[in-house]
Amino acid sequence: MGKKLRGLSTKRMLQIFLAMMLLFVVVLSSVTFVFAYRFSQRQFAKSFQAFSQNIETQLDAQFEGIEKSMRQFTYFSNMQEILFNKDPMVYLQNISGCNQLLDYLRQSTPLVVEILIDSPSGHSFFSGSTGKYQYKQLVESIREESDGFSGSFFRTLPDSSSPLPQLIYCFRVNSIQRGGYLTEEYAIGVARIDVNQLVNLKGAGDYENEIKALLYQEDVVYTSRKTSEEELAMLHGQSQDKLYSGNVEYIRHTVPLKDINLTLIDLVPKNSLLRDISSTRNVLVLAMVVVCILLTVFTEVIIHEISNPIKLLVTDMQEIQQGQKKRMALPGLKDLRYVAYTVNETLEILEAANLRQQEMSLRLYQTTLAQKQAQLNAYRNQINPHFLFNTLESMRSMARYHRAPMLEAMLTSLAALFRYSLRSEIIVSLAQELAHTKHYFTLMDMRAPQRYELRIHVSEEARARASSLWCFSL
């Protein structure tokens, strides 16, 4: 086995890429969602700002209507007689006309619920049925606090029938009895304002559990719904850091209405504001899901189209190393196909070079073997004749010693025949060829006596020149 390679596989790299892309999509969607939430907050604040400006304009118009109505009522001649004439009969003579005028003004301006006008030197006028003592105390406190105040202002009084205080409009009524000129004599009037009629808090967006409120100084004089103590504390601004009521987190928008010394507050639950962008959130979630699915499918396709061919190439290389295959399969991808094709060409070149090397090795082996065989044959050719001739010579000597002339002649002829056969020349002299023939006939005659007869016919001239005439050896 070769050395194990370290590093990430293509499949693992693609999986990491998919995880990073999914993380990027989640982060991008979260950031987009937060941006949409922030944008919704800004849009809400802008919308509420515009709404508050509209409300301020409406309230200014409403207060101008109240002030105008109070002037019409208090400077009505009948009311002037009641307030600044000390004659007891004057009250009875003028009260009917004042009530008629008050009914008319209530129809045109239904904001004033009750009115109390108190004059220290004359009679007092009260339009309601309850609360006269409370309003009387308010007038006395105003008279003690300010000596000869001018203009108009608001005050708040506790309301026994509601947790919210009453909004009271306080104004000065001057006497114009003496020839139409103002005198230093004046009365103090207070009018209870119907805040529900005064404030029309519509148009800033309606959210579930939303609270719209109107504050005069530090007193809450109006809420769009019934509120708890925690919610009232948030309206009063006593919990600035964490606006929580139970487990509900609120977002507060405050707009001061400076000209009329009022403050408009809107408390919106954060969850309601988030639900306002539910469509955006749903689109983001859907887009994120679609992108995740597409990324997953895309990555699986890449793994199938790239990782599997690479895995096949690795398997083919392992089988080639083990000798189970000779060529790599060509994958479908162009780049990987080029790699496999190049590897196959390299394998073919190596195989051809190996075959040539084997052929050259075989030829070298055969050449070397032939050389060795030739050397061996040369050694044999050198050894065998000497051994044969020495043996024949020994046998001839033994035949002579034992006096066997026929055997001696036979061995002499046999040795001559072998020497003639081992010669290297192809062309020999006539004398050598005739001597060879005689030796051969001698051996044949000894083997089969009187069976053969040798006759040699050679001319005298040829016989005389037998040693110089040449012929082909048979």
Tens digits of pLDDT across the chain (474 residues): 344 445 555 666 667 777 777 777 777 767 766 666 666 667 666 666 666 666 667 777 777 888 888 888 888 888 888 888 877 788 888 888 888 888 888 787 778 888 989 887 767 888 877 788 888 888 888 888 876 667 788 888 888 777 788 888 888 888 886 554 455 678 888 888 887 776 655 544 566 777 888 887 777 877 877 877 777 777 776 544 557 777 777 777 777 766 667 787 877 777 766 665 566 667 767 777 777 787 777 777 777 777 777 778 788 888 888 878 878 787 776 777 788 888 888 888 888 888 898 889 888 888 887 887 777 666 666 656 777 777 878 888 888 888 888 888 888 888 887 777 766 466 677 788 888 888 888 878 787 787 878 888 888 877 777 666 555 455
405-421 vs 430-447: helix crossing angle, rounded to 10 = 130
- Length of the chain measured in residues: 474
pLDDT for 266 equals 78
pLDDT for 323 equals 79
Give, in degrees to the nearest 5, the angle at Cα 322 between 317 and 324: 85
422 and 387 Cβ atoms separated by less than 8 Å:
no
Q: If residue 424 lies in a helix (H) or strand (E), which one and from where to where? A: none
Contacts of 41 (CB under 8 A, 6+ apart): 251, 273
Task: Report the sign of the C-alpha dihedral through residues 223, 225, 226, 227, in that order.
Answer: negative
pLDDT for 281 equals 65
pLDDT for 401 equals 83
pLDDT for 69 equals 85
113 and 128 Cβ atoms separated by less than 8 Å:
yes
Residue 154's identity, in one-letter code, is F
Nearest to residue 78, comparing CAs of 130, 35, 117, 38?
Answer: 117
